[in-house]
Amino acid sequence: GWQVSMKSGSLSYILPCSRLPVQLMSQVRVYTSNGQKKDLGSADANGSARGETLHKAETGQDTTNAGQKQSLPKQPIQVKVKAVLKKREYGPKYTQNNFITGVRAINEFCLKSSDLDQLRKIKRRSPHDDTETFTVYLRSDVEAKSLEVWGSPEALARERKRRKEAEIKYRENLFRNQRLLWEYKEFFGNTKPRSSTAAMFFKGPGKVVMVAICINGLNFFFKLLAWVYTGSASMFSEAIHSLADTCNQALLALGISQSARTPDPSHPYGFTNMRYIASLISGVGIFMMGAGLSWYHGIMGLLHPHPVESLLWAYCILAGSLVSEGATLLVAINEIRRSARAKGLSFYQYVVQSRDPSTNVVLLEDAAAVLSVAVAATCMGLTSLTGNPYYDSVGSLGVGTLLGTVSAFLIYTNTEALLGRSIEPEQLQRLTELLESDPVVRAIHDVKATDMGMSKVRFKAEVDFDGRVVTRSYLEKQDIEQLLQEIQQVKTLEELEAFMLKHGENIIDTLGAEVDRLEKDLKQRNPDVRHVDLEIL
């Protein structure tokens, strides 16, 4: 129990708690030994009587025990109770006061914009960079308004179901109308300007892929004729190689067109990885179609050799193929050099890191094509000189091995890119130093920066903010004199709570604004950074 000390000179007396029946009526009260109390609040009538009884009991005890001792001077006994704010329970009723935007209110509660005009409007800080503030509504007000409009939760549920069915039907009709529009355009001709997706194939990687498709298609046609005329296994491998290149580069063109699609709710980060997916499938296709058929034809030639006809036309076609494949290879090399110079990387680093998968595939396929033409011509020459068809079959196996190596490299690099590899340590260090140099940041932890493909980076970090700097940033925007007047007007706990809640919420908004500022600075100083996630510790 409580014990209260009374001092008189050098003597100390301890009053047990049973002798001091104090009844607390407020946070801080002062009681005297004669029953008088000083401070705010009211007491019941029995409080004074109990004080007098306590005084008499003390006087009697002093007379009996002390005897001749002088009576002690009356000293006030002070009992102070610490003021503690009552803990508030936040139940479903409190969370119903969460904010909701107008678009969500209309879509989720089947309301009209005119229905929202009658509700309370609250201005909140916008999480987007291009807008200052936006209007929100209390969720409880929106729910009440929806029940007022629809009459019951069951009617609201039926309306939601009906709108969902109407939305599905609308999408089906939209798809049907788009199909009809496409058919009309095919029949009457499209007079609209060329779209940005089509324009992608006239510059950069798209141009490289289209040139490769045209050249490899012609090479396949002429090599196929040469194989039919000569029956050479090496020429068959070359024809299959050109066919595989043409199909794979058509797949690359599809990946380029799909990667230009705008993000949607199902794919919020866009479709950039479609280029890597197309390149990965292309690598698998080269392995299965090019390398597999070349190995098969070479093995069959070794097991069942047959004489080769005149190879004059085959040499002519191989020479033309060498020129055309070399021209495509030069186009790919120039494009990679230009892109690597823009990124500040070497030619080797740009290819190994698969910065541009479409151009990489064209580069490696054409390099393999040039080497395979040389291998095929060499083996065919040995066959024509010696008359031994085994050299031709060995050339087919060599072309298949070369294609298998290229396909393995493409599969590895594109798989690494799709798994989400980290950016270069130097670039990550620059981003980290930029955050740590800001006064509002005390420390950063768990930093991750992922290359999402095509030089698009997603940055994530846990940030320990300096609360003093954030609060000072908020106070710099306030009228200090007015703030001092508000503090001086605080007299009760209720007023203190209201004051702290008001400015506490504003400080949290200031913290959110600081997060937006840091994210904007990271994107402006590092254009490759497209998505920034800063978590507050």
Query: Is the entire prediction scored with pTM above 0.75?
Result: no
pLDDT value at residue 51 = 47
How far is CA 463 from its chain centroid?
Answer: 16
The pLDDT mean for the chain works out to 75
Among the listed ranges 3-12, 121-130, 271-280, which one has the minimum average pLDDT value?
A: 3-12
pLDDT for the residue 405: 87
Q: Is the pLDDT of residue 85 over 70?
A: no
What are the residues whose beta carbons fall under 8 Å from the beta carbon of 454, sequence distance 6 or more? 259, 272, 275, 355, 356
pLDDT digits (tens, 9 = 90+) for 347-371: 888 887 766 777 777 788 778 878 8
How is residue 33 annotated by DSSP?
T
Sign of CA dihedral 498, 499, 504, 505: positive
Q: Which helix (H) or strand (E) holds 333?
A: helix 312-343
The pLDDT, as a whole number, for residue 24 is 41
- Which domains, ranges and CATH numbers included, belong to the chain? 92-188 (3.90.530), 197-419 (1.20.1510.10), 425-536 (3.30.70.1350)
Contacts 24+ apart (CB under 8 A), 342-349: 343/455
pLDDT band at 189 (very low <50, low <70, confident <90, very high): low
Q: What is the pLDDT of residue 518?
A: 92
Distance CA 502, CA 496 (A): 10
The DSSP secondary-structure symbol of 24 reads -
Q: pLDDT band for position 186 (50/70/90)? A: low
Average pLDDT in the 195-208 region?
A: 67
